Amino acid sequence: MRKFIIGNWKMNGLSCDLDEIVTISAVAQLHTSVDSALCVPATLIERAVKAVGAFPIGGQDCHMHKSGAHTGCVSGDMLSDAGAVLTIIGHSERRAAQQEQDSDIRAKAEAAQAAGLKAILCVGETLEEREAGKALEIVLGQVAHSLPDAAAGGWLSVAYEPVWAIGTGRVAEPADVAEMHAAIRASLVARFGAEGEKIRILYGGSMNGDNAAILLAVPNVDGGLIGGASLTAAKFQPILAAAQAKGE
């Protein structure tokens, strides 16, 4: 399976950062054995799309309804209309701060698919849940309840992001990543049959140029969702290079 490396700019990026987006897209496209994309703030999507040509630009959330009285929200049709081709769904920062539930995330994923978008659906346990020995139970519960029944077919990827590893510089141990990704794979195959083998499972949480080669070598790690290390081409490039090396 080709590795999928996605940058998540979160709430970072102004007009003055468009040049960096162009540089990132140019560098990413040199890594021809890797699928890559950049998820930017909604305010930058249209300008980023115009600036980068064929490189995939995404959003970071998608409302479950097509339109209506939802002040401040962005629908799948709006993302698509702005030129986005993918969106992150159910990031733990939104699960925590916006109290998004698995049922919301499932509806959002269905809305993204209806709008013709690829979806990166995030799951992951908190530190308390891991320390209580509940990481597998929590994450497999999220996978079971937030993935739509139509998740197979290539439009959806799962991103396993342990909450305690996001933005902390603390990376999950490869053995723990291997255990979790194998468990997610088994649950995908149990639910979707052979198609479940083809759903990409990404790792996210403090992935950077120093640890990407190790993480991307773990069985069932089909790519990465990258926050801080996607903000500059200089930091993002070594991750793309590590993915490229696995794809050759």
Which residue, chain included where needed, has tokens 């049709």?
A: 77
CB of 166 to ligand PGA, least distance (A): 4
Indicate which residue of 110, 125, 129, 161 is catalytic.
161
In the bound state with ligand PGA, the residue whose beta carbon lies nearer, of 37 and 207, is 207
Question: Site for ligand PGA (CB under 6 A): how many residues?
Answer: 13
Exposed e or buried b for every residue in 100-126, given b needs 16+ CB within 10 A? bebebbbbbbbbbbbbebbbbbbbbbb
x-or-dash pattern for ligand PGA, window 219-248, by CB under 6 A?
------xxxxx-------------------
Interface with ligand PGA includes 125 (CB under 6 A)? no
Q: Is 63 a catalytic residue?
A: no
Q: Half-sphere exposure of 138 toward its Cβ, with a 13 Å CA cutoff? A: 20
161 is catalytic: yes
Question: Cβ 169 to ligand PGA, closest distance in Å?
Answer: 8
Question: Closest CB to ligand PGA among 36 and 206?
Answer: 206
Among 44, 107, 207, 221, binds ligand PGA (CB under 6 A): 207
161 binds ligand PGA (CB under 6 A): yes
Question: Residue 122: what are its φ and ψ, rounded to 5°?
Answer: -95, 140
Between CA 39 and CA 57 the distance in angstroms is 6
Q: What is the binding site for ligand PGA (CB under 6 A)?
A: 8, 161, 166-167, 204-207, 225-229
Active site residues: 91, 161
